[in-house]
Amino acid sequence: MRTIGEIDSETRARQFSDFLYVQGISNQIDPGNQDAWQIWVHSDDDLAKASQWLATFRANPDDQQFAAAAKASDLRAAQEKESKEFRQRVRTRDNIFRRFVVFGVGPLTAVLIAASVLVFFWTRFGNEVLTQVPFLLFSIYEASPDMFERLLGSPEIRSGEVWRLLTPMLVHMSIIHILFNMLWLRDLGGMVETLEGTGKLLALVVVSATISNWAQYVIGGSPLFGGMSGVVYALLGYVWMKGKYEPGSGLFLHKQTVTMMLIWLGFGFTNILPIANWAHLGGLVVGAGWGYAATRRA
């Protein structure tokens, strides 16, 4: 970057700077001695052309071609916006997780992980759920064969035990089950809590857990399910949509990650393994819908 000269008026200097932008010459102005403003050109390749334009401008600054430089303000704004969005996009997942190393995951993420691990040990690694934590399940009674009756919730919930809408998320049935969910909760929950706050994560957890558990009970037809997977899929959907439609948010998922999780979701519906498929799907719909709606309001 080199200076090509000075202009004695800030207004004139800005006018000429805008004119150079219209000509495709990247530049900037800085205060010089007394009232003079220095004109700096970023690329040496543009020095000769910019110097010629400066001589022409000094000879007749009121020339119509320079007056048209007012259009450059919109061009500058567009360039600055594009540059800002690019800088925000390069805050990749690795950059975000580097912050976690310094600050750790957020308090809510840590509490959810700790509570899930505590319940896992309390239930003898998921082997004694019914005897140790029946109060955390959606219901301890066999679900009604009538789907419309199940829409009203379990007998316990209808009698006031509304915490059962949420607490199945803390119950895990195997070591693989809890490891899978806790790793994803740490990554996705930590990402959302770090970038958008504990309140946003709390809202996502409460809404997605309630809807995904309710969907599993109503459509799946059994109260014997548990795990953080519905919340995890909600966080996946939320981060996916935010990263896709609002890259400046800093939330980001690789396409391969999304593809893998969607394949796993589809695999669950083969019923080869006992998986709470409707909780997964319900969580994904909630999170993706929430994330997409948030980008439309931005």
Could you give the residue numbers annotated as active site?
A: 229, 280
Residue of 94, 16, 87 lying closest to 253 (CA atoms): 94
**Separation between Cα atoms, residue 284 and residue 281, nearest integer Å:** 5
Alpha carbon distances (Å) from 261 to 99, 209, 237, 241, 246: 25, 18, 10, 14, 21
**Residue 275 DSSP code:** -
Name, in order, each residue with C-beta under 8 angstroms of 170's C-beta and a sequence gap of 6 or more: 112, 115, 116, 119, 136, 226, 228
For the chain, how many helices (H) and strands (E)? 15, 3
Beta carbons of 238 and 288 less than 8 angstroms apart: yes
CA distance 169 to 118: 13
